[in-house]
Chains A and B, each alone.
Chain A
Amino acid sequence: MLKNLVAKDFALSLHPAMSIWLLMGALLLIPTWPYYIAFAYVFLNVMLLYQMDRVNQDLLFTAMLPGRKRDIPAARTTTVCIMELAFVAVSIPFAIGWNFLYTAENPISMNLNVAFYGTVFLMYALFNAIFLPWFYRSLYSFLAPLLVGSLVPVFVVAGLNTLVIVVPALDGLFNDRGLGHLGYQVLALGVGVLAWLGASLWASARSGANIEKADL
């Protein structure tokens, strides 16, 4: 059932033009920049998706199809996670390119290394945990959940990136561009991915409980 609902999202809900935002991964080729911003463009895609849902009366359409009401946010969480993974996947060649093109350190945020991607997954974890349950509680107002759900993760990850570059001990371990501290960086990535998986599962369950109480 979940598979059918996700297939519905890709066949009807997502517009092909939305994939253009994936090209924001190319922003990683800027020499110095707060690179986590490039990954926040996925939030714009989510906003477009929910705006189109409203126009298309998607919630009512989906709720009429065979399936439990709580499957609707579970499927949508999966779709959002796929969109986030697509942003990460498209960005990787650009991140590798940045490492080849530039030798100087990035003074604004973390360098594009493995640990940086841990912070990206943490940003997505916070977004999923804030936006999805909030939206499925109110159902028809997505602007406030989306604004808070987008800004809080960006500020948290901005703070984390700043902390890493200003604290020498953290900078040495997590901002290193070589392979010297790869173990720590993989650990940081693992923590980010686990946080993202955990937050997404929690968001899905919480959103499911919320939609059961809501009126379509």
Chain B
Amino acid sequence: MALLTVEGLNKSYPAFSLKDVSFSLEPGYIMGFVGRNGSGKTTTLKAIMNLIHPQSGTITILGQDFRTHELDLKERIGFGLGDVPFYPKRTLAAITAVVARFYTTWDAGLYARLVRQFGLDVTKKVDQLSAGMKVKYSLALAMSHHAQLLILDEPTSGLDPVSRDDLLYMFRSIIESGEASILFSTHITSDLEKCADFITYIRDGSIVASRDKDSFVDAYRLVKGPKSALTPNLRATLIGCRETSLGFTGLALTQDLPPSLPGIIVETPDIESVMVYHEMTTEEPFVYTPISD
């Protein structure tokens, strides 16, 4: 049974819409929720947590409808919203004392361990923390009640490379038992390369793909070659293409490419390339003109 199933989520704002967002996450896996800024990642995560009211769609957690079992299911979810400064003038100890009351499974020992591991000073006020420490505190709160599902919005943004690596390693140990899963949004694709099992890619409010990491990148090919090799037929198959004076690099669906392309290098892309070439605009390149005498 899937730990989390999102089906047909639709939400319209004047300038942005979530369009038929659907994906699911099995227990024991990490899913990276990737997309550029403003693509709908946070809106989707908020809709999952019933913080916003979608026009249609269902959220099922452990086989139960989230809206009808909101109270029970929220106890089994750890939700972290990046470095949002809740109660900036209150100490971590004061906030934790309040949060702990809400969870029957709150583990003070685990919280104390996380506080030590993250180097948090609980006598500090929230606004005295750096962006990275705010993220760590938010994670400590989200993890200290043994949640089965961790939903984290941009948990690695603002963290230094060592802390980020530690955190990603911790993510792997959380899911080791096979019972817990993590859904985390990010635009740092190297995090996904390191620890995600599944990738869900959202673009302009629509899901482009939601599948395991290997098949996600395998569905695409990066093609490179001299300009002369960029025939109209090949150009039509490319999702995105960057041309320079030396040649071109483009992204295509593996299934759309012919079996052989003479004079062209065909490679498996990384996640970042898939995202970057998908997001390329068709607008004219920006020309910058500095003041001259």
Q: In the docked arrangement, what's the CA distance between A8 and B84, Å?
A: 18
**A212 close to B53 (CB less than 8 A):** yes
Q: Write the nearest CB–CB distance from B125 to chain A, whole angstroms.
A: 12
Q: In the docked arrangement, what's the CA distance between A4 and B74, Å?
A: 15
Q: Which of B49-91 contact A (CB under 8 A)?
A: 49-53, 70-71, 74-75, 79, 81, 84-90
Q: Which of B79-124 contact A (CB under 8 A)?
A: 79, 81, 84-90, 94-95, 97-99, 101-103
Within 8 Å CB of B74, what residues of A? 65-67
**B98 close to A8 (CB less than 8 A):** yes
**B51 close to A63 (CB less than 8 A):** yes
Does B213 reach chain A (CB closer than 8 Å)? no
- Please report the number of residue pairs spanning A and B whose Cβ atoms sit closer than 8 angstroms: 67
**B102 close to A4 (CB less than 8 A):** yes
**A12 close to B49 (CB less than 8 A):** no
Q: Write the nearest CB–CB distance from B95 to chain A, whole angstroms.
A: 7
Does B46 reach chain A (CB closer than 8 Å)? yes
Q: Write the nearest CB–CB distance from A74 to chain B, whole angstroms.
A: 13
**A68 close to B70 (CB less than 8 A):** yes
Number of B interface residues, CB 8 Å?
A: 27
**B71 close to A68 (CB less than 8 A):** yes
Within 8 Å CB of B87, what residues of A? 12, 56-58, 61
Q: In the docked arrangement, what's the CA distance between A60 and B84, Å?
A: 10
**B98 close to A64 (CB less than 8 A):** no
Q: In the docked arrangement, what's the CA distance between A68 and B46, Å?
A: 14
Q: Given A11-B97, A12-B95, check contact A214 B53 (CB 8 Å).
A: yes
**A7 close to B71 (CB less than 8 A):** no
- When C-beta atoms are compared, the residue in chain B nearest to A71 turns out to be B71
Q: Which of A33-70 contact B (CB under 8 A)?
A: 55-58, 60-61, 63-69
Q: Given A60-B86, A213-B53, check contact A11 B75 (CB 8 Å).
A: no
Scan A10-49; emit 1 where CB is below 8 A from any B CB, else 0.
0110000000000000000000000000000000000000
Q: In the docked arrangement, what's the CA distance between A152 and B75, Å?
A: 41
Q: In the docked arrangement, what's the CA distance between A63 and B52, Å?
A: 10
Q: In the docked arrangement, what's the CA distance between A56 and B99, Å?
A: 15
Q: In the docked arrangement, what's the CA distance between A214 and B50, Å?
A: 10
Q: In the docked arrangement, what's the CA distance between A8 and B100, Å?
A: 11
Scan B250-278; emit 1 where CB is below 8 A from any A CB, else 0.
00000000000000000000000000000
Q: Which of A147-183 contact B (CB under 8 A)?
A: none
Within 8 Å CB of B75, what residues of A? 66
**A66 close to B53 (CB less than 8 A):** no
**B102 close to A216 (CB less than 8 A):** no
Q: In the docked arrangement, what's the CA distance between A163 and B7, Å?
A: 60
Q: Given A57-B85, A69-B70, check contact A64 B97 (CB 8 Å).
A: no
Does A1 reach chain B (CB closer than 8 Å)? yes
Within 8 Å CB of A1, what residues of B? 71, 102
**B52 close to A215 (CB less than 8 A):** yes
Within 8 Å CB of A64, what residues of B? 49, 51, 79, 81
Q: In the docked arrangement, what's the CA distance between A216 and B70, Å?
A: 16
**B86 close to A61 (CB less than 8 A):** yes
Q: Write the nearest CB–CB distance from A14 to chain B, whole angstroms.
A: 12
**A65 close to B88 (CB less than 8 A):** no
Q: Write the nearest CB–CB distance from B151 to chain A, whole angstroms.
A: 10
Indicate which residue in B50, B81, B88 contacts A69 across the interface (CB closer than 8 Å): B50
**A7 close to B51 (CB less than 8 A):** no
Q: Which of A183-205 contact B (CB under 8 A)?
A: none
Q: Write the nearest CB–CB distance from B238 to chain A, whole angstroms.
A: 38
Q: Write the nearest CB–CB distance from A76 to chain B, whole angstroms.
A: 15
**B98 close to A11 (CB less than 8 A):** yes
Question: Mind listing 15 A-B residue pairs with CB under 8 Å?
Answer: A4-B101, A11-B94, A12-B87, A12-B90, A56-B87, A57-B86, A57-B87, A63-B49, A64-B81, A65-B102, A66-B74, A66-B102, A67-B71, A68-B70, A213-B53
* B binding-site residues for A, Cβ under 8 Å: 46, 49-53, 70-71, 74-75, 79, 81, 84-90, 94-95, 97-99, 101-103
Contacts A58-B86, A65-B102, A216-B51 aside, 11 further interface pairs with beta carbons under 8 A come to A7-B98, A12-B98, A56-B87, A56-B90, A60-B86, A64-B51, A64-B81, A68-B71, A69-B70, A215-B51, A216-B52
